[in-house]
Structure formats: structure tokens, C-alpha cells
Amino acid sequence: MSRTRLLNPGPVTLTGRVRNALTREDLCHREREFAELQLDVRGRIERIYEGAADGYVAVMLTGSGTSAVEAMVGSLVPKTGRALVVANGVYGDRMAQMLAAQGKTFDVIASDWLADIDLAAVEARLASDATITHVLSVHHETTTGRLNSIAALGALCKKYDRAFLLDGVSSFGGEDIRFAEWNLEAVAATANKCVHGVPGISFVVVKKSVFAARASGATSVYLDLWRHWKEQQNGWSPFTQSVHVVYALQEALAEMESLGGWRARHAEYARRAALVRATLKELGVSYFLADGERASSSILTAFAVPAHVAYDTLHDRLKERGFVIYAGQGPYLGRMFRIAVMGDLTETDLAELCAGLREILAH
Ligand SMILES: Cc1ncc(COP(=O)(O)O)c(C=O)c1O
């Protein structure tokens, strides 16, 4: 049987180089070699975007993307602050759930999940309410594949001088992120999506000056960014890190650098997505979003399940051919299917995928 090719939005199909890194020697996280490894990996993360290289630091956590988002929200929104969540999908709603669980004061500007974030409502709110200290949103809302208008939201944060906390879990390494221009205080991300690492390590890229300016207000012991940052500056970690996953992340980051960094990755995703979109268009399959062609990320596209083939049939028949696609969440279950193009996908993989789609979806 051919190898499994993951077209879900992470974890991704690993390259041999990244997979092999998992078998490097066992290492205690309290030894100097681990400190060197962690310093190297953090530096590589900080250098992915030119705008983060000065002024921002990466803090690594053993946990999935949600742990990075929760550490960011829990550590950086002070108990005395007021957050504004700008949401249009599962992951925006999740940030609001975190604030509620942490007992913080917040409001939500929610849009329909099929629409972009509501910039006019955000501007009206920021212009009239000086008590809002932090704006929170999701860069790539994986629920629908929409790349939100984050540059415009960031410009509003800059204009009204409010700290911006971004969930970049499904975009970091594959889409542009402007740290200073968007007034970013932090971005949360993970190893196993656009960075092409193994699940188990996530990270928050935080404005350095924040750590110096105030004490930790974290509502969690484990997810306290101050605690991690304090030790990680010298390579250490307050808790056990997933050592082998860090080896794999180092390799994934080195591989990404050698292939041309985030810009080359973005271009490659765009090329792959264009191929999948053209094939599905030919087969009469529509985007799920009305403005899907323009609004979808390079990373993932959501399509409408066609009337003549049920989602489960499409999923199972593609799986027989070695491809794993992703269902719609919540209200879109059975009506939407999603195809992500991250990870190690060759020309042969893409050709086989398109051939499989043609066979299964033919009328
Ligand atoms: C935008 C976004 N945020 C957060 C998460 C949560 O990440 P994890 O499932 O790794 O906890 C995801 C997962 O797909 C995501 O796409």
C-alpha cells in the first residue's frame, strides 16, 4: 500500500528527514545538550519572520496548539484588563471560552462563520471604548479555510494602540505575519502544521518588552509564559519537554530554511491549492465560502460536498487510495469537506489525488 498522505489541517505527512530525527539519542531535558537544542530551535522560530527577529522571543511548550493559545491568553490578558475577541469560527470562539474559564472581562464581536471578521464593528468599539486593552483574533480560521483580514485588524490595533494577540496556529510558517505593523503582542503557533514538525510542541512568539514591563498575571501554573521564558532564556525548561519532538522540530525548521523559508512554503502551498481547486472546479464542486476563491488561505480550502457523493463515501474512497481529507465541523458536518496541502506532498501524490478525485466524483 502507498504511504498515507494527510490532507487534514495538521498533523502533516512528515518528510523522511523529520521522521528520522525522532530516533536521535535519548536526552535528559536537564542536560546542557538539551539547553543547546532548545536555544537553537527557539532562535530558528524567531528568525522565520524578519519582523520577529528583533524584539520578539519564542517560548516553547510541550502541548498542542491549544496549549500555546491558552498560555498566551492566560498569561498576557491581565486580570485587570478587558479583552475584545473578534471571532468567526471554532477557534475564535475557543479564545472566548478560555477567557471565560480564566474569569477575565471580555466582549466578543462575532461574525457569521461564513463571513470575514467585522472590522467596522471593531473600529466603532475601539474608538469609543478605551477600557479595551487586548484584541484577540484568529489569522487563518481553519473552520472554513478563511484567511481573515488580519492586516486590517492589526492596523486598527496600531491606530488605537491596543495589544493584539493572534492565534496563528494554522498559518505560522505559511502566511505573512507583520509583527510591528499589526501591533502584535504575541502569536501562538504549533510545530505540526505549516512548520511540518511532529505534534507535541507548540510555541508563543512574544514581544520581549512585555516580560520586562510587568509581572506574570498567569491564571495557570503550567501555562505561565513568564515561568517558561525565565528558564528558556538559558535553554532550560521548568517542566519536561518532549525531547524527541524538539529534535524533529529542529530538523523541520532547518529544512524549511533550506527550502527558502515561509515565502517559498507559501508559494508552494498556493501552487498545490490551485491544482486541487482547478480539479474540483472541473468536476463541478463549489467552494464552501461564497468568496472562497479570494478569501481562502493557501493552506486549506473548504468545498461543498456535492449532491451525488456523500462525505463519508468521498472520505473512505480517498482513504483507500492513501489520502486523508477532513470533514466540516459543527453545522457544516456532512456538508463541507476540507483539503489542506501542508506537509510532504510530491508531484506524484498530487497527481494521484487529482486522479482519485476525478474517479470518485465523476457524474
Ligand atoms: C486556528 C487554530 N487554532 C487552534 C487550533 C488548535 O490546535 P490543536 O488541535 O493542536 O490544539 C487549531 C487546530 O487545528 C487551529 O486550526
What is the percentage of the chain residues whose pLDDT exceeds 90? 97
The DSSP call for residue 343 is S
Pick from 302, 353, 345, 297: nearest CA to 327: 302
- pLDDT tens for residues 140-155? 999 999 999 999 999 9
63: left (phi over 0), alpha (psi -120 to 50) or beta: left
CA of 52 to the centre of ligand 1 (A): 22
Helix (H) or strand (E) run with residue 355 in it: helix 347-361
- Measured distance CA(252)–CA(256) in Å, rounded: 6
CA of 170 to the centre of ligand 1 (A): 7
The angle, 0 to 180 degrees and rounded to 10, between the axes of the packed helices 311-320 and 347-361 is 140
Nearest CA to ligand 1 atom 10: 65
Ligand 1 touching residue 203 (CB < 6 A): no
pLDDT category of residue 250 using cuts at 50, 70 and 90: very high
Nearest CA to ligand 1 atom 9: 65
Ligand 1 touching residue 172 (CB < 6 A): no
pLDDT category of residue 2 using cuts at 50, 70 and 90: low
- pLDDT tens for residues 38-90? 999 999 999 999 999 889 999 999 999 999 999 999 999 999 999 999 999 99
The DSSP call for residue 308 is T
Nearest CA to ligand 1 atom 7: 65
Nearest CA to ligand 1 atom 8: 65
Which ligand 1 atom is nearest residue 9's CA? 14
**Mean pLDDT score of the chain, rounded to an integer?**
97
Average of per-residue pLDDT across 12-26: 98
Question: How many other C-beta atoms lie within 10 A of the C-beta of residue 180?
Answer: 14
- pLDDT tens for residues 177-211? 999 999 999 999 999 999 999 999 999 999 999 99
- Measured distance CA(300)–CA(143) in Å, rounded: 10
| pLDDT (0 to 100) of residue 53 | 83
Pairing of strands 326-327, 336-340: antiparallel
Ligand 1 touching residue 117 (CB < 6 A): no
Instruction: Write the CATH number of the domain with boundaries 18-258.
Output: 3.40.640.10
Tell whether domain 5-10+261-361 is in CATH 3.90.1150.10.
yes
Q: What is the distance between the terminal CA atoms of the chain, rounded to a whole angstrom?
A: 27
Q: What are the residue ranges spanned by the domains of the chain?
A: 5-10+261-361, 18-258
Which ligand 1 atom is nearest residue 199's CA? 10
Ligand 1 touching residue 65 (CB < 6 A): yes
343: left (phi over 0), alpha (psi -120 to 50) or beta: left
What is the percentage of the chain residues whose pLDDT exceeds 70? 99
pLDDT category of residue 363 using cuts at 50, 70 and 90: confident
The DSSP call for residue 346 is -
Which ligand 1 atom is nearest residue 142's CA? 16
Residue 1 in this model has a pLDDT that exceeds 70: no
- pLDDT tens for residues 303-333? 999 999 999 999 999 999 999 999 999 999 9
Which ligand 1 atom is nearest residue 190's CA? 10
Pocket test for ligand 1, best of 138, 142, 198, 338 (most atoms within 8 A of CB): 142
What would the DSSP string read from start to end of 231-288?
HHTTT--SS---HHHHHHHHHHHHHHHHTTHHHHHHHHHHHHHHHHHHHHHHTTPPBS
CA of 317 to the centre of ligand 1 (A): 26
**What's the pTM value of the predicted model, to 2 decimals?**
0.98
Phi, psi of 59 (to 5 degrees): -115, 125
Ligand 1 touching residue 297 (CB < 6 A): no
- pLDDT tens for residues 212-235? 998 888 989 999 999 999 999 999
